[in-house]
Amino acid sequence: MNNVIILGAPGSGKGTQGKILAGHLGIPQVSTGDLIRAAMKQGTPLGVKAKSFYDQGHLVPDEVIYGLIQEILDAPASREGVLMDGFPRTSPQAEAVDRLLKAKQAKVDRVILLEVDETELVKRLLARAAKEGRADDNATSVTQRLKVFQQQTAP
């Protein structure tokens, strides 16, 4: 089984590198950011709840994320493992991932951390905002998201 976590600040390339690695390993890439953005776009109850947090650059509450991760881990496509892209983001989330996997008689096999200079991160995120029109990539929320990453995820 290959349960891999790829971590890094917003804009560090988790999604890009995660796709490559997940394809190489033959496992699904689980990006909570992509799942949340899809739910927001579809206007699901989860999406509406998440939008108020996400647009301000705050983390979506853990209970919402745990439900998403549980659904992914229960999916047949995840039988051989998953690549978690940008999750867990906090110590309690990491502990929850361990519990969810242990219940399936599995564990985290590898963790990869992508480190990128903050000036480069801001440049990448603002360029992405211009290219993709993502509301969560404005100057205010980018600064807030990087601050949240340093305070909650980096440790």
Catalytic site residue 134? yes
Catalytic site residue 128? yes
Give me the residues paired with residue 83 across strands: 4, 29
> Which position among 37, 51, 89, 124 bears the catalytic label?
89
> Which position among 19, 49, 104, 128 bears the catalytic label?
128
Catalytic site residue 79? no
Using the structure block, give the residue that is written with the tokens 């929320």: 141
> Which position among 99, 102, 110, 134 bears the catalytic label?
134
> Which position among 14, 37, 51, 124 bears the catalytic label?
14
Which structure tokens are listed for 108?
């985290």
Which structure tokens are listed for 11?
């804009």
Burial class (CB in 10 A: 0-12, 13-18, 19+), 1: middle
Using the structure block, give the residue that is written with the tokens 């909570």: 32
Q: How far is CA 136 from the centre of its chain?
A: 14
Say which residues have a Cβ less than 8 Å from residue 78's Cβ, sequence separation at least 6: 27, 28, 30, 72
For 13, the 3-state DSSP assignment is coil
Residues annotated catalytic, as ranges: 14, 89, 128, 134, 145
